């Protein structure tokens, strides 16, 4: 099963007192990079939130989680000064003033514009009660998120399999051309050697000529590369049917097939085969671009 690394999921719940919204957005990443952005009230729950998300089949991608939370029944907020932060902030302002000879307009109102010097605590919040309501919303958003990954992944899978099928057709055409090409090339080199030897009045050693032609033909033969290439295609098609994340394995296998294509290109002496090799490289690159989106 292919799962795309780009997706979006959202869920919301409104009860008598609490309103909760959870959103998940993701883009490509080699590893799982999970970021939770939530109100300070929920900060103590961040570890539980991440565990709840990773309990779903989400193993790769940069995933941003946005949680909005409001409690209309809260008895109010308490605003407190973060004394340690405020002292450091003021010290930095005074140093800035003295070092650069700036006008001293430091006042309560200007300092208070930096909201980080205050801490806000909601009174009477029960974290366990919040979690009981928050967890189902997270799960619902994650399910929608994963379902969208699967839908997009299936589209990518079909497209990639179609491209692999096209690559197989190109391999068949290259194989057909190469069969006649080796025979024709053997005849050409034999004739050329006979002509050169005759022009230089050298006795023709037919066994030696056949040996040289056989060595040369072996150097340009691509039978083994075509066999390995088909094997790589079969492995890629098998991976496309797995239920586990296959993005990295698929990319590695695609690199191996790319090496075989390059070898065929370096061996070929035929313009038509060279053109087909270029087409195979282009198709493989399209697959590589697609696979970057796969989990």
- 34 and 109 in a single domain? The answer is no
- 90 and 184 in a single domain? The answer is no
- 47 and 15 in a single domain? The answer is yes
Do 25 and 64 meet the contact criterion of CB atoms below 8 Å apart? yes
Domain of 97 in residue numbering reads as 77-120
Question: Is 114 domain-assigned?
Answer: yes
Question: Is 62 domain-assigned?
Answer: yes
- 244 and 144 in a single domain? The answer is no
- 30 and 43 in a single domain? The answer is yes
- 277 and 239 in a single domain? The answer is yes
- 60 and 101 in a single domain? The answer is no
Query: Could you list the pLDDT tens digit for every one of the 295 residues in the chain?
Result: 788 999 999 999 987 778 999 999 999 988 899 999 999 889 999 999 999 999 999 989 999 999 999 887 655 566 788 888 889 989 998 888 888 888 888 888 888 888 888 876 655 568 898 899 999 999 999 999 999 999 999 999 999 999 999 999 999 999 888 876 666 666 666 667 667 766 676 665 666 656 666 666 666 678 888 999 999 999 999 998 888 888 888 989 999 999 999 988 888 778 888 999 999 999 999 999 998 888 8
- 143 and 172 in a single domain? The answer is no
Do 159 and 290 meet the contact criterion of CB atoms below 8 Å apart? yes
Question: Is 53 domain-assigned?
Answer: yes
What torsion, rounded to 10 degrees, do the Cα atoms 172, 177, 179, 182 define?
-140
**Whole-model pTM?**
0.66
* CATH number (domain holding residue 146): 3.30.230
Domain tally, the chain: 3
Question: Is 17 domain-assigned?
Answer: yes
Question: Is 212 domain-assigned?
Answer: yes
Question: Is 2 domain-assigned?
Answer: no
- 28 and 93 in a single domain? The answer is no
- 20 and 144 in a single domain? The answer is yes
Question: Is 1 domain-assigned?
Answer: no
User: Residue 115: left (phi > 0), alpha (psi -120 to 50), or beta?
Assistant: alpha
- 279 and 165 in a single domain? The answer is yes
- 21 and 111 in a single domain? The answer is no
Question: Is 271 domain-assigned?
Answer: yes
pLDDT of residue 209: 59
Kindly report the number of other CB atoms within 10 A of residue 51's CB atom: 9
């Amino acid at each position: 099963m292919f799962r795309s690394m780009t997706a979006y999921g959202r869920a919301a719940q409104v009860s008598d007192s609490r309103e909760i919204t959870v959103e998940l957005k993701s883009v490509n990443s080699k590893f799982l990079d999970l970021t939770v952005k939530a109100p300070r009230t929920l900060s103590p729950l961040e570890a539980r939130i991440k565990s709840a998300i990773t309990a779903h089949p989400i193993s790769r991608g940069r995933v941003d989680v946005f949680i909005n939370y409001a409690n209309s029944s809260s008895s109010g907020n308490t605003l407190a000064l973060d004394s340690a932060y405020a002292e450091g902030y003021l010290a930095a302002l005074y140093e800035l003033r003295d070092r650069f000879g700036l006008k001293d307009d430091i006042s309560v109102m200007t300092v208070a514009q930096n909201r980080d010097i205050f801490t806000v605590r909601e009174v009477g919040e029960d974290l366990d009660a919040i979690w009981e309501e928050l967890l189902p919303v997270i799960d619902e958003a994650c399910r929608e998120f994963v379902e969208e990954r699967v839908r997009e992944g299936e589209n990518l899978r079909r497209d990639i399999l179609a491209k692999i099928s096209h690559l197989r057709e190109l391999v068949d055409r290259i194989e057909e051309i190469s069969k006649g090409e080796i025979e024709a090339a053997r005849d050409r080199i034999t004739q050329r050697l006979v002509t050169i030897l005759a022009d230089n009045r050298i006795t023709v050693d037919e066994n030696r000529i056949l040996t040289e032609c056989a060595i040369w033909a072996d150097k340009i033969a691509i039978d083994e590369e075509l066999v390995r290439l088909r094997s790589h295609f079969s492995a890629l098609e098998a991976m496309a049917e797995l239920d586990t994340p296959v993005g990295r394995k698929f990319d590695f296998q695609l690199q191996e097939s790319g090496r075989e294509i390059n070898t065929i290109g370096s061996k070929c002496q035929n313009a038509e085969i060279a053109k087909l090799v270029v087409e195979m490289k282009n198709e493989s690159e399209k697959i590589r671009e697609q696979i970057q989106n796969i989990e």
